[in-house]
Amino acid sequence: MDAIQQLTQYEADATAAIEAAADAPALEQVRIEFLGKKQGRLKDLQALLGQVPVDQKPVLGKRFNEVKDKVTSLLETRKAAVERPAAAVDGVDVTLPGTPFRYGHRHPISQTIDEFKAIMSRLGFDPVDGPEIEDERHNFDALNIPQDHPARDPLDNFYLSAAKTATGSPLLLRSQTSTVQIRVMEKTQPPIRIVSLGRVYRPDDMDDTHSCMFHQMEGLMIDTNVTMADLKTVLRLFATAYLGEDVVIRFRPSFFPFTEPSVEVDMRWGDRWLEIGGAGMVDPNVLETVGYDPEKVSGFAFGLGVERFAMRRFGVRDIRLFYENDVRFLRQF
Ligand code: FA5
């Protein structure tokens, strides 16, 4: 065999061996045999080339390089192929692009609650929790709501039929977060600065701004010399922190059994006013009920509708959208 024939033979052998190698280790063996630098068939051919007459050298050299390049490239292609997973596994083409995975995220109302807590914590109010199932003492009695007050009407509350307190008194789903004011004051001495965010339940007729389950943020500050000016400042600071400097809120005189004086708070939204909460100075009767001296301490409380703020922030005109679990709606937040 002359040198040209040997090169052709080398090329054929190498091509066959590369095709036959089934995995990476087998392919490495082939590489050493055919392209090994220290020993191997390419090295032998190179030695042979050194012995051919000078006039044949250019042709042979060119052919040598061609064969070497071809074997090197075949080896690389095969290497990539054996390292890639088989295209079909159990009849499924695993190399096809997959369906993109959609991540879930927190509900817009949960996001709002987190943001409310963060803003109020910057104003020095610590978050506390209270139970959603309450007794009448915390939902009404201690809040100075008399026995014959319409707020206690069974038609305006979700009383539980199957459960009572240990002493046999009725239990209900809380209708307001003001219950937590009482729970905190019963256990703590002033100064107090807390917020409590959570669900409340009322059998209200549902419409674009009313739901039978919604969220409130209760705020309570008790100290010496707390005034209505502090209340208004905190509410304005909160509203602008959440909705921006251009938000307009107004205070309307109102009545709550547990605050005196009391106000209702509205927020401008387009061409209308949206009621966002109730507030006032904690009634001396309430302070006495929890064992405080109304001559020494005073304070304010407020209860804001969380959904109402979220509606304005996100431009959602119907509160019911938050609770329909339609992912096309929820995905926007
Ligand atoms: C109260 O619940 C009082 N506890 C607020 C309060 C706390 C006054 C502390 C004084 C001191 P009211 O029933 O107005 O008040 O409700 C407060 C806010 O909850 C409303 O302004 C409104 O923003 C929101 N809200 C009331 N009912 C609903 C409802 N069905 N759906 C959605 N939001 C509601």
Predicted confidence at residue 312, as pLDDT, reads: 96
- What does 259-272 look like in DSSP terms, one character per residue? EEEEEEEEEEETTE
What percent of the residues of the chain are helix, what percent strand, and what percent coil, each to the nearest 5? Answer: 45, 25, 30
Say how far apart CA 227 and CA 235 lie, in whole Å: 13
Domains in the chain: how many in total?
2
Q: Identify which of 112, 157, 178 to mutate to test ligand 1's pocket (most ligand atoms within 8 A of the CB).
A: 178
**Which domain, by its residues, includes 226?**
108-330
- Asked which of 27, 60, 93 is the last residue of a domain, the reply is 93
Predicted confidence at residue 89, as pLDDT, reads: 77
Name the pTM for this structure. Answer: 0.75
Predicted confidence at residue 84, as pLDDT, reads: 75
Say how far apart CA 81 and CA 85 lie, in whole Å: 8
pLDDT band at 32 (very low <50, low <70, confident <90, very high): very high
- Domain co-membership, 296 together with 196: yes
Q: Identify which of 212, 308, 319 to mutate to test ligand 1's pocket (most ligand atoms within 8 A of the CB).
A: 308
Rounded to the nearest angstrom, the distance between the alpha carbon of 304 and the centre of ligand 1 is 6
Residue 235: which CATH number?
3.30.930.10
- Domain co-membership, 89 together with 139: no
Which atom of ligand 1 is least distant from the CA of 304? 18
Rounded to the nearest angstrom, the distance between the alpha carbon of 239 and the centre of ligand 1 is 16
- pLDDT tens sequence across 303-330: 999 999 999 999 999 999 999 999 999 9
Residues touching ligand 1 (Cβ under 6 Å) are 176, 178, 202, 204, 210-211, 214, 216, 256, 259, 262, 275-280, 301-303, 305, 307-308, 319
The verdict on residue 98 lying in a domain is no
- Domain co-membership, 168 together with 279: yes
> Which residues, 6 or more positions from 277, have their beta carbon under 8 angstroms from its beta carbon?
216, 235, 264, 265, 302, 303, 304, 305, 308
- Domain co-membership, 67 together with 117: no
Rounded to the nearest angstrom, the distance between the alpha carbon of 175 and the centre of ligand 1 is 9
The verdict on residue 99 lying in a domain is no
- pLDDT tens sequence across 71-118: 999 999 999 888 876 667 788 888 888 888 888 899 999 999 999 999
Q: Are 197 and 207 in contact (CB under 8 A)?
A: no
Instruction: Say if residue 261's pLDDT is above 90.
Output: yes
Q: Which of 84-88, 124-128, 220-224 has the lowest mean pLDDT?
A: 84-88
pLDDT band at 120 (very low <50, low <70, confident <90, very high): very high
